[in-house]
Structure 1
Amino acid sequence: MPRKPREKSALCIHHVILRGINQQIIFEDEYDYLQFINVLKYYKETCEFKIYAYCLMNNHIHLLIEHMTVDLDLIMKKIEVKFVRWYNKKYQRSGYLFQDRYKSEPVNDMRYFRTVFRYIHQNPFHAGMEKTLGMYPWSSYNDYINMDASFVDINTVFDLFQSYDECISYLQVDSDEMCMEYYASSRLSDAEVLKIIARRTSCTSPSDFQRLDLATRNEYLQRLHYSGISIRQMSRLTGISRTAISTAVKKK
């Protein structure tokens, strides 16, 4: 079956996701993260694209990118090839690192641009990898906090807001707006889910969930569902019925 053509953005802006093959970890240590950022910086200059947001998770990558003179497919191919060559040499491996083609969605208006911008920066929080926004080191969040325009094209984004404070406040408001969701398409192991539960709730066992008041319990269930945990798996690990979880999720 031929591949479906990618949707093009009228603004040449796309939300891009790269993910490890078979959910493989991409970044083993901080040097791997730094190398990928260096590759982005290199091709940002040579291919003349703009980066408005990025987030490097352990097994997938988010980019908010505007391409101008060079086609997005060619940009992503160059980035992938250069990083994988370096990665394979470092770890003495061969073969693919990334799964299939990169995923992308077009951004056709600035309202949705703002949604994607916030979604990318809140990805570590919603995945349970940080308890406070800004603690995760491998995203462009702190470029905006520190007004550092040396790599990320922050000024274009700041122009969408009335002030610096309005932009940062927007970033910090916990949002359940969904974009091209990664976790919904992946299977999380029970061990991974238990780690997310520990990070995103105050519960460590099913009995802890049973003692929660209804409002708090529903809030926790909504958080966990947003992190990509299926209702079936959530029910099994929390002891809460699927019907109760479905009701809580629908309320959100």
Structure 2
Amino acid sequence: MPRKPREKSRFGIYHVILRGVNKQIIFEENEDYLQFIRILKKYKEVCEFKLYAYCLMDNHVHLLMEQTTTDLGTIMKRIEVKFVKWYNRKYKRIGYLFQDRYKSEPINDEGYFRTVFRYIHQNPLHAGLETAVGTYRWSSYYDYAISQSSFVDIDKAINLFQSNEKCIEYLQYISDEKCMEYNSLSRLSDTEALKIIHKKTSCESASDFQHLDRTLRNQYLQKLHYSGISIRQLSRLTGISRTAINNAIRERTI
């Protein structure tokens, strides 16, 4: 079956996601994150694209970018090939690292630009990797916080909010808006979900979950839900009621 053509942005602006094949970890060490950023910087100069936001998670990457002289497909191919060659050499492996093609969605208005901009910067919060927006190291938040970019094009977003202070205020307001990544997640099997539960929590069974104190339990539930486990599946595998899980997730978005 032929691939569906990518939807084009009227302004050349896209939200792009690169995901590890089979959801595998693609950043094992700090050096891996730094190398990806070096490659991103290099091809930003070579391909002359604009970068408005980025976030490097352990098994996927978010980019908010605008193509100018080079089309998006060429840009992403160069970035992927360069990083995979480096990664395979470092870890003495062969084969694919990224899952299928990169995913992209067009940004066609300022409202959705704002939504994606915040979604990318709050990804670590919703994944349980930080407890306050902006404390996660591997994103472009710091460029906006100090209003000085090393290579991120911060002016467009700041101008949208009229000042850097209002831009940061917007990023700090916790939102549960969902973008492409969330909508495109496939349903996990119970086996896959259990592997995630065992990896991200100290629990080996539903009984372990039910003996946790409420604060830690809710932190785990938030983290697991944003890892792609549905509320219904979480309830079934942990023994926690759907109402309690819903309440735990809402705590993060208030």
Shorter-chain TM-score above 0.5:
yes
Query: CA shift at 1:250, angstroms?
Result: 11
Query: CA shift at 1:148, angstroms?
Result: 2.1
- Counterpart of 2:32 in structure 1 is 32
- Counterpart of 1:122 in structure 2 is 122
Residue ranges of structure 1 left out of the alignment (5+ in a row) = 199-203
Query: CA shift at 1:194, angstroms?
Result: 5.8
Change (3 A) 1:80 1:168: same
Query: CA shift at 1:232, angstroms?
Result: 3.4
Alpha-carbon separation, structure 1, partners of 2:31 and 2:226: 30
Q: Share of identical aligned residues, percent?
A: 63
Alpha-carbon separation, structure 1, partners of 2:222 and 2:27: 29
Change (3 A) 1:163 1:79: same
Matching residue within 163, 173, 197 for 1:193: 197
Contact map agreement 1:14 1:105 (CA 8 A) in 2: yes
- Counterpart of 2:205 in structure 1 is none
Change (3 A) 1:229 1:109: same
Please tell me whether residue 64 in structure 1 is matched to residue 68 in structure 2: no
Query: CA shift at 1:171, angstroms?
Result: 0.2
In structure 2, give the amino acid aligned to 1:231. I
Query: CA shift at 1:189, angstroms?
Result: 3.5
Residue-by-residue CA offset, 1:168-225 (whole Å, 9 max, x unaligned): 0100111001101258336454353366578xxxxx732457x79xxxx999967754
Alpha-carbon separation, structure 2, partners of 1:47 and 1:250: 40
- Counterpart of 1:205 in structure 2 is 209
Alpha-carbon separation, structure 2, partners of 1:91 and 1:247: 40
In structure 1, give the amino acid aligned to 2:104. S
Query: Secondary structure of the residue that 1:78 maps to in structure 2?
Result: helix
Change (3 A) 1:145 1:39: same
Between 1:106-115 and 1:86-95, the stretch displaced more is: 86-95
TM-score (norm 1): 0.85
Q: How does 1:1-252 map to 2 (within 5 A)?
A: 1-182=1-182, 184-185=185-186, 187=188, 189-193=193-197, 205-208=209-212, 225-242=225-242, 244=243
Alpha-carbon separation, structure 1, partners of 2:173 and 2:134: 12
In structure 2, give the amino acid aligned to 1:232. R
Alpha-carbon separation, structure 1, partners of 2:225 and 2:32: 30
Alpha-carbon separation, structure 2, partners of 1:87 and 1:241: 42
Contact map agreement 1:26 1:58 (CA 8 A) in 2: yes
- Counterpart of 1:201 in structure 2 is none
Query: Secondary structure of the residue that 1:53 maps to in structure 2?
Result: strand
Contact map agreement 2:128 2:223 (CA 8 A) in 1: no
Give the number of aligned pairs: 241
Contact map agreement 1:225 1:249 (CA 8 A) in 2: no
In structure 2, give the amino acid aligned to 1:143. D
Contact map agreement 2:235 2:245 (CA 8 A) in 1: no
Query: CA shift at 1:132, angstroms?
Result: 1.6
Contact map agreement 1:55 1:138 (CA 8 A) in 2: yes
Residue-by-residue CA offset, 1:214-246 (whole Å, 9 max, x unaligned): xxx99996775455221233113442345x369
Query: CA shift at 1:49, angstroms?
Result: 0.1
Contact map agreement 1:19 1:102 (CA 8 A) in 2: yes
Residue ranges of structure 2 left out of the alignment (5+ in a row) = 203-207
